[in-house]
Amino acid sequence: MLVSLDRALELLPLFRLSDSGEESTTALHLPQGGRWRVLPAPNDRLPGTFDQDVYVELLHRLQEAGHPADGVVRFTLHAFLRAMGRKVDGRTYEQLRAALLRLERTTLEALGPWAGDSVPPTGTFTLVSGVVVERRRGLDRDQLPLFSDLQSAEPGDARATIAAPLREHLAAGRVSYISLPLYRALGSPVARRLYRLLAAVAASGAAGEAALVPGTLDVRDGEVTWVVSLEKLAEHLPLAQRYPSHRQRVLDPAHSVLLEAGVAEAASVRQDGRDWIAEYRVRTDE
């Protein structure tokens, strides 16, 4: 199962690689001269690792629904958590409700070009433009003890509206693809984020949009080689670690996971004099 994602957004930092509230914004200067910020709602944190997985599952369900014109995805919280491979209980129900609301309330701000000439240079939007979670009727809840795999008394029915800018990019074919089973199997949040980023880099290179990608791209014979400074890579993931050696210690295990899974044919971090460089090689014809 391949899931299509907005490749312009995939190049940008959307989710922190932790679920803490240590930072209040994410900011990035873009290769084309624009600026990108992710702003949390008041009294909330930035989206994190759980939210990243919720976002991917939402776009999977949008695709499964045939990309409805209104962008609405309908599901039960129980089925959604099961699909994500998460334990279903009261805590994870609340995690999912909070994540859906966070995706609705977190503001993405683009100042200047961020996705090519066809996209307005300035604007704010959210990943999800509407979320409704309804409690099950009392009669339904009374039946729940009959099912041993349900541990919460109030699973809910939900619907979420995927924001128009995402739907427009998907409809226009400005996409990258990831394998959903492979994404779920990677386990590590850093490896999952790198998988999404490398898919977007490869798709951008194949589409002739190398200007949107930091660093340098070499596209030939069905392969893309991406060389980028470790500092810039850390901004796009994003990584909270400040020192190159600390960043390398975070990336090396994720690189091993990606290489073993066949996501990348090469993935490494090296020091070149005073500079730190990351280099990846991925296929584009699979």
- Least confident span in 28-42, 44-58, 263-277: 28-42
| Cβ-proximal residues to 102 (8 Å cutoff; 6+ apart), any chain | 40, 41, 44, 45, 47, 51
Strand bridging mode 35-39 / 72-76: unpaired
pLDDT at 151 over 80: no
- Residue 2's CB is within 10 A of a number of other CB atoms, namely 15
State the average pLDDT over residues 178-201: 96
Edge-first strand order for the sheet with 216-220 is: 216-220, 223-229, 275-283, 266-272
Tell me the C-alpha distance between 88 and 30, whole Å.
39
Where do the CATH 1.10.10 domains begin and end in the chain? 187-283
pLDDT at 47: 95
Q: What are residue 237's phi and psi, to 5 degrees?
A: -70, -55
Are 243 and 231 a contacting pair, CB within 8 Å?
A: no
Q: Which CATH architecture has domain 187-283?
A: Orthogonal Bundle (1.10)
pLDDT at 110: 87
Per DSSP, the residues of 217-231 read: EEEETTEEEEEEEHH
Q: Quick one: DSSP state of residue 242?
A: -
Distances (CA, A) of 134 to 51, 77, 163: 20, 10, 20
Side-chain half-sphere exposure of 212, counting CA atoms within 13 A? 27
State the average pLDDT over residues 51-73: 97
End-to-end CA distance of the chain: 13
| Cβ-proximal residues to 98 (8 Å cutoff; 6+ apart), any chain | none
**Residue linked to tokens 């990019």:** 169
pTM assigned to the model: 0.90
pLDDT at 174 over 70: yes
pLDDT in tens, 1-32: 899 999 999 999 999 997 766 667 888 988 77
19 or 52: whose pLDDT is higher?
A: 52
Q: What is the mean pLDDT of the chain?
A: 88
Using a pLDDT cut of 90, give the percent of the chain over it: 70
Nearest to 96 by CA among 20, 149, 158, 184: 158
pLDDT in tens, 63-121: 999 999 999 999 999 999 999 999 998 899 999 999 999 999 999 998 876 666 555 55
State the average pLDDT over residues 168-175: 92
pLDDT at 115: 67
pLDDT in tens, 228-263: 999 999 999 999 899 999 999 999 999 999 999 999
Tell me the C-alpha distance between 179 and 1, whole Å.
6
At 190 the three-state DSSP class reads helix
